[in-house]
Amino acid sequence: MTLSLGIDFGTSGARGVVIDQQGGIVSAMRHDWHIGTINWVKCWTEALWSLLAQIPEVFRQEIGTIAINGTSSTILLTDDTGKPVDAPLLYNDSRGAMALERLSRIVPANHTVLSATSSLAKLLWMQELPSFVNARYLLHQADWLGFLLHGKLGISDYHNALKLGYDVEKLQYPEWLEQLQIPLNLPQVFPPGIPIGELLPQIAAEFGFKAHCLVVAGTTDSIAAFLASGAKLPGEAVTSLGSTLVLKLLSRHRIEDARYGIYSHRLGNLWLTGGASNTGGAVLKHFFSDLELVRLSTKIDPTQASMLDYYPLLKPGDRFPINDPQLLPKLEPRPDQPHDFLHGLLESMAKIESRGYELLHNLGADPLTHIYTAGGGAANSTWTTIRQRYLKVPILLSKNTEAAYGTALLAMGKINLERTTEDTEKTEE
């Protein structure tokens, strides 16, 4: 029996999943963040050891490969022994905003690094810290956690490195980056899932892992969640009906359009493209409890179109599929019956979803063939029927939605990132 371990460092905590060669889950672990955590390095380290310790011993001995995902654009600086020289900057930290003007003079227009939360903007902010003189390496969260396991410094993957400016098409850092003269080691970038090194012998011995257990290059949490869905061919998509509406579509063609916040991650020789709208479950939650959503949904006839035409938002502004920072929420007229109101909301969100996929297609992405659904709204069959009227392709439940599971598939080598052009052409037939 050879097992694989996927570890997810997400926004609310760390999760681990051990799978067998058929993709079956044999063990799952969790370690939640404490509210008000200040020392993230200590917290992550404790979480990593806690997850390893939670795996039943019989399975630990059978694990052959391990992969880790982290939140995108969470970065830290370390000295040349891998010790952090200051606090990490988390994914949603926007202090990099101060660097945007400087960056915009160097970076090609509309590049993904031109965002206050990008790794590169954060790095420029960190360059002003007194502790920067001690820094030798810039690492992403997943890179540093991987280092704790395999002991190699300065290694990353092309999912984490995208928002550092790494050119995922040419597989090299771009020339314009040199103009920034960053005086430290940027990570060497590998394809996600590629073996990086063996688990350090002292860790293998302490936790009872087998010798020669391999740690492979990681990924980001949202890509890991996509991988968990089971989508793998061009035209397959995952809609996440969580607090916001997030679309991800596999395509043979790379598309980028900063106006709509659209960019593409590399996935072997395919591209994972997508966009996110501010509409979604957060608006439903504002008006209804989860129980009410279940109860009222049963009163809706989803085969009939609602005549209510809303743009459900909690505050003005959306980017995808309508790029308008001033776009006003449209939630009127409000019918007397709450289930009629809910019908209008679900119907309007289905239209926004459909318009999103249409926009991706118009920008050059492959046409939709299947949609897997994840997030809190995925279980709502009334909504699925409404969505079906607009989307006109099979809508399936994601096989799994846990990023840790997607990362375990990556560790197992189940995600074929090295597909040949021939393979991809075959899938078109």
Token pair belonging to 88: 């990490």
The single residue listed with the structure tokens 């954060």 is 122
Token pair belonging to 98: 């101060």
Residues near 145 by beta carbon (within 8 Å), at least 6 away in sequence: 7, 9, 44, 48, 68, 70, 218
Smallest separation, CB 47 to ligand ADP (Å): 19
Q: Is 40 helix (H, G, I), strand (E, B) or coil?
A: helix
Q: Is 398 helix (H, G, I), strand (E, B) or coil?
A: coil
Does the bond joining 333 to the residue before it have cis omega, within 30 degrees of 0? yes
Smallest separation, CB 13 to ligand ADP (Å): 12
Smallest separation, CB 375 to ligand ADP (Å): 3
Which is nearer to ligand ADP, 310 or 383 (by Cβ)? 383
Contact between 72 and 221 under an 8 Å Cβ cutoff? The reply is: yes
Smallest separation, CB 12 to ligand ADP (Å): 9
Which is nearer to ligand ADP, 349 or 365 (by Cβ)? 349
Which is nearer to ligand ADP, 213 or 371 (by Cβ)? 371
Q: Is 375 helix (H, G, I), strand (E, B) or coil?
A: coil
Q: CA end-to-end span of the chain, whole Å?
A: 36
Smallest separation, CB 243 to ligand ADP (Å): 4
List, as one string, the DSSP characters of 359-394: HHHHTTPPPP-EEEEESGGGG-HHHHHHHHHHH-S-
Which is nearer to ligand ADP, 305 or 379 (by Cβ)? 379
Closest-approach residue to ligand ADP (CB): 376
- Residues lying near ligand ADP in the complex (CB under 6 A): 242-243, 281-282, 284-285, 290, 293-294, 375-377, 379-380, 383
Which is nearer to ligand ADP, 220 or 251 (by Cβ)? 220
Smallest separation, CB 384 to ligand ADP (Å): 10
Which is nearer to ligand ADP, 338 or 413 (by Cβ)? 338
| CA-to-CA dists, residue 407 to 67, 224, 237, 319, 429, angstroms | 6, 5, 18, 29, 29
